[in-house]
């Protein structure tokens, strides 16, 4: 049986393996919370976490914004199960939906317009066309003055190959300086999950996970263009460390 204590154990391992790829992940979470604190006027904002995974970003936002509530959406039932067991309750609700499919927003069952859409390390799993559609939905439903905040590996794309190589190298150097643990990478974490008796039920529901093939990767410029096109009055980068960046749109 998956206890809250064991869920928290797996989430801690998740955070360590994610830091292997993003040595400034905690700083990135903190900056996203700063953005919300700076821009949101309501003391009880409704936040949607796109690709919530096991809830790392959501938990940090709930800690920083005591009046906030979060609805997290994801297409991985195992990660959602961990989030629910560890943090689920009145302030964090999770919903299973694939952001590439029409109707994902309706499945959230919200009773008011969200004040913010946030995401970390998730949207780079999407091709340009579905990402554009997701951002269009966000722009059409968000409350006036609402914000979109995405922290992810973002790229220059064609014509920016040397900058992209440089940014990747800077991330690697930063990781070495920060001394992030390299005990476990993505594959090793999933392999350990597969063998954990308390996760057997969730592994079964996950059934190998959903496939994502990224053939048409969005660039950092695409994010800005799509956000403007979606009705966000202003959009642009607000933070960067190597290839790890935060882009903000203000409706």
Ligand X SMILES: C[S@@+](CC[C@H](N)C(=O)[O-])C[C@H]1O[C@@H](n2cnc3c(N)ncnc32)[C@H](O)[C@@H]1O
Please give the residue ranges that form the binding site for ligand X (CB under 6 A). Answer: 18, 51-53, 56-57, 74-76, 79, 98-100, 120-122, 125-126, 212
Min CB(159)–ligand X separation in Å:
26
Min CB(144)–ligand X separation in Å:
26
Q: Which residue is nearest to ligand X (CB)?
A: 53
**Antiparallel, parallel or unpaired: β 92-96 and 69-74:** parallel
Q: What is the DSSP letter of 218?
A: P
Number of H helices, E strands in the chain: 9, 7
**Antiparallel, parallel or unpaired: β 147-153 and 69-74:** unpaired
- Region of 69 (left: φ > 0; alpha: ψ -120 to 50; beta: rest) is beta
In the complex with ligand X, the residue whose CB is nearer, 2 or 99, is 99
Q: Number of C-alpha atoms within 13 angstroms, CB side, residue 61?
A: 32
Min CB(234)–ligand X separation in Å:
24
Break the chain down into helix, strand, coil percent, rounded to 5.
45, 15, 35
In the complex with ligand X, the residue whose CB is nearer, 57 or 247, is 57
In the complex with ligand X, the residue whose CB is nearer, 79 or 193, is 79
In the complex with ligand X, the residue whose CB is nearer, 166 or 168, is 168
Min CB(174)–ligand X separation in Å:
18
């Amino acid at each position: 049986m998956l206890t809250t204590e064991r869920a928290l154990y797996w989430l801690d391992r998740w955070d360590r393996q994610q830091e292997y790829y993003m040595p400034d992940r905690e700083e990135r979470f903190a900056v996203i919370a700063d953005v919300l604190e700076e821009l949101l006027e309501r003391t009880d904002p409704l936040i949607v976490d796109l690709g919530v995974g096991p809830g790392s970003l959501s938990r940090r936002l709930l800690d920083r914004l005591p009046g906030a509530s979060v609805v997290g959406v994801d297409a991985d039932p195992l990660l959602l199960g961990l989030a629910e067991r560890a943090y689920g309750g009145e302030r964090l609700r999770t919903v299973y939906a694939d952001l590439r499919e029409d109707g994902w927003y309706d499945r959230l069952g919200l009773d008011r317009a969200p004040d913010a859409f946030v995401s970390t390390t998730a949207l780079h799993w999407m091709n340009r066309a579905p990402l554009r559609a997701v951002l269009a939905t966000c722009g059409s439903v968000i409350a006036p003055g609402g914000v979109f905040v995405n922290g992810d590996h973002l790229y220059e794309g064609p014509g920016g190959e040397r900058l992209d190589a440089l940014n990747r190298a800077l991330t690697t150097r930063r990781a070495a300086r920060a001394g992030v643990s390299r005990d476990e990478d993505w594959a090793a974490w999933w392999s350990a999950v597969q063998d954990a008796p308390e996760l057997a039920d969730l592994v079964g529901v996950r059934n190998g996970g959903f496939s994502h093939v990224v053939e048409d990767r969005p660039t950092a410029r695409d994010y800005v263009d799509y956000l403007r096109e979606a009705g966000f009055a202003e959009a642009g980068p607000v933070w960067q460390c190597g290839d790890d960046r935060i882009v903000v749109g203000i409706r």
